Amino acid sequence: MYSFRNDYSEGAHPRVLQALTDANLVQTVGYGMDPLCETARETIRRLCDAPNADIHFLVGGTQTNLLVIASLLQPYEAVIGAHTSHINTHETGAIEATGHKVCSIDTPDGKLTPALVETVLAEHNGTEHMVSPRMVYISDSTEIGTIYTKSELTALRECCDRHGLLLFLDGARLGSALTAPGNDLTLPDLAALTDAFYIGGTKNGALFGEALVINAPNAHFRWHMKQRGAMLAKGRLLGVQFQAMLEDGLYFDMARHANEMAFRLRDGIAALGYAFPVPSPTNQQFPVLPNTVIAQLQSMGYEFEIDHPVDAQHTCVRFVTSWATPADVIDSFLNDLASCR
């Protein structure tokens, strides 16, 4: 009777909703040019230690990904991503729909490395007969829950500099990554090491919204936004939410809670003897369960996503926690799981 299907199963954190309510009747200009957005931009620049960053608020992740990629690449340039990356799998070809190839490569853990990037580059000969790989796309946390360390991200940055590549970090689940055990990255690190990254709101307590930080001047990004139907008329809604989440640490508090709930869940599942093929320090957990157990959990009313079959009797599933997941629900679930089979 609980859904672990995703981290956007509820509305917004009550304080975010309250902020929207408080500002509701204030009149402002549209399209994100209002003072509420400007305040949020200043907060983000301060938190990122990036006084000149170009900051835009978008409604969703796919929209943000396609806009960043389409606006920063020339028509014949391509983006490198993990085979499991969101842009390569779960965006219905949104990147290709803007005309750009995604050069994907298999990874053991959803993470790109300089060696993997250079493998892709080596398949391209620099002539007009092939696309020019020009951007590296990574996610933190990744689509399978793993995170980048500062040394890994620094190595990717150096690799990109060596080869004239842009580095773009999808932060749809950035809160969970930055509060994960083992993480040593900070917002200023991201601003310093990437060409663009975003602070995901949709999956961490906002009604919706991604705050994109572009670390290079981009005079016409708003033209791209409008042309793709990505400019929210009441843009202020995005500024208000990000200010509410970021002004006093709520964003990280929510992410930390989601992680803690995920670990409580993970440890409980593991204690019952089930395996996790890829260890995840974030709010997505991927245990392998017997199909019979899965069916019993579903019949009890639990919801979660099927990731992939492992063998005829077992399936890897995904559990996601959020800022809204109560601890007692985890405990009830673990009791129910213990009773299965």
Please report, as residue ranges, which positions from 65 to 94 form the binding site for a copy of itself (by CB under 8 A). Answer: 65-67, 70-71, 74-76, 78, 89-94
Of 9-48, which residues contact a copy of itself (CB under 8 A)?
Answer: 9-12, 14, 17, 20-21, 23-31
Residues 282-321 interacting with a copy of itself (rule: CB under 8 A)? 303
Stretch that binds a copy of itself, among 99-107, 139-147, 268-276, 312-320 (CB under 8 A): 99-107
Residue 220 binds a copy of itself, judged by CB under 8 A: yes
State the minimum distance, in angstroms, from the CB of residue 250 to a copy of itself.
16
Q: Contact 175/200 with Cβ under 8 angstroms?
A: yes
Measure CA 119 to chain center: 25
Stretch that binds a copy of itself, among 182-190, 216-224, 243-251, 291-299 (CB under 8 A): 216-224
Work out which of 128, 217, 328, 339 binds a copy of itself, going by CB under 8 A: 128
- Backbone φ and ψ for 137, nearest 5 degrees, come out as -110, 125
How far is residue 314's CA from residue 112's CA, in Å, rounded to a whole number? 28
Contact between 64 and 210 (Cβ < 8 Å): yes
Three-state DSSP at 316 gives: strand
Closer residue to a copy of itself in complex, CB, 153/169: 169
The residue among 31 and 252 lying less far from a copy of itself, judged by its C-beta, is 31
Of these, 56, 100, 173, 266, which contacts a copy of itself (CB under 8 A)? 100
Q: How far is the CB of 305 from a copy of itself (least distance, A)?
A: 10
Q: How far is CA 121 from CA 127, 133, 283, 306, in A?
A: 12, 7, 33, 34
Contacts 24+ apart (CB under 8 A), 267-270: 268/330, 268/331, 268/333, 268/334, 268/337, 269/334, 269/337
